Each structure stands twice: as C-alpha cells, then as structure tokens.
Amino acid sequence: MFSSSDAILELEKFQWWVEEIKHFKNKKYLGFSYLSGQSTRQCRIWSSPSRFIRYTCCSGYSREETGKGCPISKYPSELSKSLGGVPGGSGSVDRERLHPWTFNAPSLVHYHVVKGRHSYSKFRKNQEIPTLYYGTKDVRINKYAYGVVTVNCARIIMPDQPASNGIIHVIDRMIKPLDSIGDLAEILLKHDRFTKFSQLLYKANLVKMLQGDRHFTIFAPNDAAFNRLPKIIKEKILTERKVAEAIAKYHIVKGVHCGASTIMTWGLNTLHSGSLTFRCKYNGNYVNEAKLLTEDIMAGNGVVHVIDKVLLPDSVKNMLEIAETYDTKIFVELARNAGLIDKIQTKKDVSIFMPNDAAFEALPPDYMASLREQPGIVDQMIDYHTVLGRFTTDKLRGNQLLDTELKPTKLKVSVFINGLTIDDAHLVTPDIESSNGVLHVIDKVLVPPGLNMLELLNVDQELSIFKEYVKKAGLTEKFTGEEQITVFAPSNEAFKKMSDYQKKFFLESERGIKMLLERHMVNGIVVSIGMSKDAIFTIPSIQSDSLNLTFDSDETTLRINKLSEGVTLDMLATNGILIKIDRVLVCESCKQVDIKKE
C-alpha cells in the first residue's frame, strides 16, 4: 500500500539507502541517512550550519525508556491499524464511489493499494502494477539510481513499513486515478500554454510518435518561452523542418524521469544528438538553464515537465554562439576585435578546428600581441583553422590532408590509438554540430608551415651533414615533393659518433647512403604528441626495418629504438614532419646486402 504524507520536512528531495545526500534549501543542507548496527537501528535527520539532530525509530523498531537507539522489535499489526500510525494514513476500506468522475476518500484509497507484498528492493524501472481501483487502473513504478523510487512520480519517503498482512510505503503526495489519463500528445495539444510547442511537434512530424506505447519524458516550454526566442530562430522553425525537428527532439528523452529523480545531477540523452543536464538547485529543478515551472504532468505513456526556456541544440546555433559556451572564448574575442564575426557567421558547411583558451595562453607574448593588434594576422589564423566541408571524426582518416581557406596550405590528419591529431595539436572536443558547420576544439594554435622538408634542413645548421647526404643519395625530389613523409634526421654530432666501420660501410657509396637515410624515413605523417605515453609505437621505415618509438617515464623524452633520443620533435614542413635525433639508427638488414654492388 502507498500511503500519502506531506508532513515530513518537505521530503521532496529525499533519498534512502545512501550514506549521505545533500539537499540545498535556503542555502542550508538538509539530508537523511539510515544508520544500522548489529543490535540497534536508528534514522537520523540533520541540518547545517545551524545543526540539530533528531532521532526517530525505523519501521519495526521502538525505543527503550532509557538507553540509546531503538533495540526493541515491534510485532507488526494489521495493515489497517498500521495506517493509523502513518502521517496521512487512513483505515477505511469501503469501496463506495459517488460518481464516475468524482471520487471520495475511500475510492482514492483503493488507488493506493495493490495486491501482494511488493518490497522496496523488488521495485524496478517502468513497472506497472494493477491497483484495487476496480482492478483496471495501474500505478507506474520507476526506480532510479541511488535507490530513489517513485509511484506515479510521487516519491516513496518511508519504505517497507511492516504489517502482518502487507507492506506500507509512505509517499510524499496523493496520487489520483485521473493523473495519467491520455497520452503525451493529447496532454500537450489540449493545453493552451503549449500551443507553440504543439505547432513545433506538428512541424517535426512527432505527434504520432507521442501517441504510441513508448514512454518519454518531455520538457515542454510554455508559449512565453517561445515568444522570447530570437527572431531568426522563430523564422527557421517556420521555414526549415530540420530545425524544427532538431529543437523538438532536443526536448524529448526516452523513459520516464520524474522531478523526484533529481537527487543528483543527471545527464539525459535526448532524441536529438545531444544530452541535457537534469539537476536540483536550492530554488527548484532545472534542465540545462531552464527551470521546471510545473513538474510531473502524468500521461499514459510518459510525463511532461513545463519549463520557462526553449532549449536550443548546438545544431541550430552558429559556430560563434557555440564557441562562447566552450573553452574557446579567446578565439571569439580575437575574431570580434578584428571585425571578423560576420565572416565566420556567414560561412556555410565548413569545419573549424578552434584552439581552446589554454592554447592561446601558451603562445609567445609577441605573437599574442600581434593577434590582438593586427586584424590581418587574425584573418590568416582563422583561415588556416577553417576547412571547406563538414568533417566529423568519422570522415577523418590517417594521413589525410584537408584543404584550408588559407590556400594552398593543408592540415595534416593523424589517427592514433588515443585519438586524432591535426598537424601537431590534439583534438580535445570533437564533432560539435552547428547550423553552419562542425566545430572541433584543439589544444594548440596551428601555424602554417612555410617550408618543405629540404628547406627546413637548410635553415638548421645542426642538420647540414644529413642535408648533404640527401643530395648525394638522389633523394632531393623526395624531400621537395608533395608526398607526405616523416623524417628522423640525425644531427651532425650523431654522424660523428658513428664507428669507422659504419662510416665505411654506409657512407662511401650512393647506395649505402640511400639505404641508411631511408632507414630514417617513414611514409606518411607521424607526430609524437599523438603517441601513447605508456606503449610502444612501431612503424616500418621506407628501407623496411621497423622503428620502435617509446617515451621515458617522464613522458616527454622520445626514444627511437631505445638508444636514440628525439632532440627536437614535430617540426612541420609542407610535405611532412621532421624530428631531429641524437644518434644514427642502425640498419640491421643492411648488413646482409652488398652495399658496393650497384
């Protein structure tokens, strides 16, 4: 039996079976817990900062006149007598009914009674149990995490009160047979405060779905919320069915989520590609930033909560509106200061790899000052981070080159076991859909490379010997072409460390030099930042011997085949990646080749 009580300290945010749950009320904490021991059981209620403690005995136990706790086990009485001791209880079992749509107290009691013993621990999600109300009207049980259980969205606040012929569960409000008359669509369409939301559902072709048997929770904005929408969004709802469908589905969640389920913060997956944050604040329940004005309007196939704001998924916002809600505010600030807001907002079907705030804060002060003072540099920066086309991660692959709006530069895509990299930046937050493209948050400001691989060797005096051997081996075209390669280039000091035997074997013929250099070259793009810090990354060289890349325990020192150390990592060229190393890599299979045979 479910007995109603509304006199237990506003237990709307109550949770049994959890050691400690905090509920904000007037900026104080109000909580409840069960304390159990081998010989005594007590329930405790506490408040803070003005702390008081009051003890009441748990069901089935009573106090002694002296001593602590509630050690005396009471013999359960009959159900009708037990109800007399429950706040709001009634012992009436009359089945009288005055009129088909008018109920007196006895008929309401029948709707609170179900056959059989149903203990708190046996309840499950979306369980429907017939009541004694003529055996035709069910109550809906929902069980949530941390043991919260609701009956038609009324929370069970005192479970498992024992009786000799049954069990009583005290709930926090009265439940009525008329609470769940009609389906979700019927409830929304018949209320004049949902006229705008109903039009949205029709536009999105979702009315029929809400008339079916599947259970949903709907966060329905009232008409006042729609009236506050920007004019451009209202026009899109009327003219673009995809926008209407996206907004409507963003307010619908599978399953029944009552207001009483918000003991903690929940993430609810919507029918649209996104999630909502359902949480309890000191002044009520919220979904994202919208407040629940009316909770728990029951329907036969779900529940409706009235909210005061229209929730907009990212897919109907433009990129800059979304960027301001992520950790990318500096990018937006630079674009605004440079007068480039319209340029970004008017782009269509593009992908922007947007550096987060930490990436800008890590820039050299001189470069950051240039971005703040010279709009042209900001314009180039934005163009290099912008790619034509909607590229979500499922469309990105390893060694892929993406054409940027800063022609003819391209972004380099690499795929590793722990994620994707764009040039030498990690993809931190991918696939944020917007109305005019896809936004990806990255952890570094990308700088377009201005030199090819050979030109990069020319500007580094420590790689002059390696550069000369590239020319002697006839690899100049490889180092200046468009094909992407990764080169592990030994420094001048590394060549000096070679033994006389190695120098004689490799460096006295064009074939030996070419074989040795190809031992240090890899087809495709390899950036060290994409590698796992606690695993071995193995790749074949162009020569055929493998390269085993690992990081030391400091997670910053890169080792190549254990002995060689990366001195300068991930130098970008237009046609690849250059990594400077401190030792020449040994070519084991080369020893079986007649180097001098041309």
pTM value is 0.65
Longest dimension (CA), the chain: 111
pLDDT number for residue 199: 93
Q: Of 291, 313, 335, which residue sits at a domain end?
A: 313
User: Which tens digit of pLDDT belongs to each residue from 118-148?
Assistant: 888 888 888 888 888 876 678 899 888 777 8
User: Which tens digit of pLDDT belongs to each residue from 145-160?
Assistant: 777 899 999 898 888 8
User: Which tens digit of pLDDT belongs to each residue from 186-244?
Assistant: 999 988 899 999 999 999 999 999 999 899 999 999 999 999 988 888 888 888 898 99
**Mean residue pLDDT across the chain:** 81
Q: Is residue 598 part of a domain?
A: no
CATH number of the domain where residue 373 is located: 2.30.180.10
C-alpha Rg value of the chain to the nearest Å:
35
Say if residue 39's pLDDT is above 50. Answer: no
pLDDT number for residue 81: 55
Q: Are residues 29 and 169 in the same domain?
A: yes
User: Which tens digit of pLDDT belongs to each residue from 268-308?
Assistant: 999 987 889 998 888 889 999 999 999 999 998 999 999 99
Say if residue 451's pLDDT is above 90. Answer: yes
Q: For residue 528, give its domain range.
A: 453-592
Q: Are residues 280 and 427 in the same domain?
A: no
Q: Are residues 118 and 215 in the same domain?
A: no
Question: By three-state DSSP, how is residue 433 classified?
Answer: strand
Q: Of 178, 199, 221, which residue sits at a domain end?
A: 178
Q: Are residues 341 and 301 in the same domain?
A: no
CB atoms within 10 A of CB 95: 12
Q: Are residues 241 and 335 in the same domain?
A: no
pLDDT number for residue 72: 66
Q: Is residue 169 part of a domain?
A: yes
Say if residue 575's pLDDT is above 70. Answer: yes
pLDDT number for residue 240: 87
Q: Are residues 465 and 351 in the same domain?
A: no
Q: Which residues, 6+ apart, have CB-to-CB distance to 99 below 8 Å?
A: none
User: Which tens digit of pLDDT belongs to each residue from 488-521?
Assistant: 999 999 999 888 888 888 888 888 889 999 999 9
- Report which listed range, 112-121, 245-254, 312-321, is most confident: 245-254
**Are 381 and 415 within 8 A, CB to CB?**
no
Q: Is residue 96 part of a domain?
A: yes
- What mean pLDDT comes out for the span 336-346? 89
Q: Are residues 60 and 155 in the same domain?
A: yes
pLDDT band at 7 (very low <50, low <70, confident <90, very high): very low
CB atoms within 10 A of CB 555: 9
Q: Is residue 142 part of a domain?
A: yes
Say if residue 31's pLDDT is above 60. Answer: no
Q: Is residue 447 part of a domain?
A: no
Sign of the torsion angle spanned by Cα atoms 152, 158, 160, 161? negative
Per the model's pLDDT, the better-predicted residue between 464 and 501 turns out to be 464
- Among 59-63, 240-244, 290-294, 450-454, the minimum mean pLDDT is found in 59-63
Q: Shortest CA distance to 43 belongs to which of 158, 149, 156?
A: 158
pLDDT number for residue 176: 82
Whole-angstrom Cα distance, residue 302 to residue 255? Answer: 7
pLDDT number for residue 101: 35
**Are 194 and 200 within 8 A, CB to CB?**
no
Q: Shortest CA distance to 527 belongs to which of 443, 596, 435, 597?
A: 443
573 is written with which tokens? Answer: 């060229």
CATH number of the domain where residue 133 is located: 2.30.180
- What mean pLDDT comes out for the span 439-456? 94
Sheet containing strand 350-355, edge to edge, reads 386-388, 350-355, 437-442, 425-434, 419-422, 410-416, 400-403
367 is written with which tokens? Answer: 């470069």
Residue 260 one-letter amino acid: A
Residue 418 one-letter amino acid: N
As a whole-number percent, the residues of the chain with pLDDT over 70 amount to 80
pLDDT band at 332 (very low <50, low <70, confident <90, very high): very high
Q: Is residue 448 part of a domain?
A: no
pLDDT number for residue 530: 85
Q: Are residues 457 and 493 in the same domain?
A: yes
pLDDT number for residue 67: 64
**Are 256 and 265 within 8 A, CB to CB?**
no
Q: Are residues 166 and 259 in the same domain?
A: no
- What mean pLDDT comes out for the span 340-354? 90
Q: Are residues 418 and 510 in the same domain?
A: no
pLDDT band at 93 (very low <50, low <70, confident <90, very high): very low
pLDDT number for residue 57: 62
Whole-angstrom Cα distance, residue 33 to residue 16? Answer: 6
- Counting the structural domains of the chain, the total is 4
- What mean pLDDT comes out for the span 80-104? 43
Q: Of 288, 313, 338, which residue sits at a domain end?
A: 313
Q: Are residues 121 and 200 in the same domain?
A: no
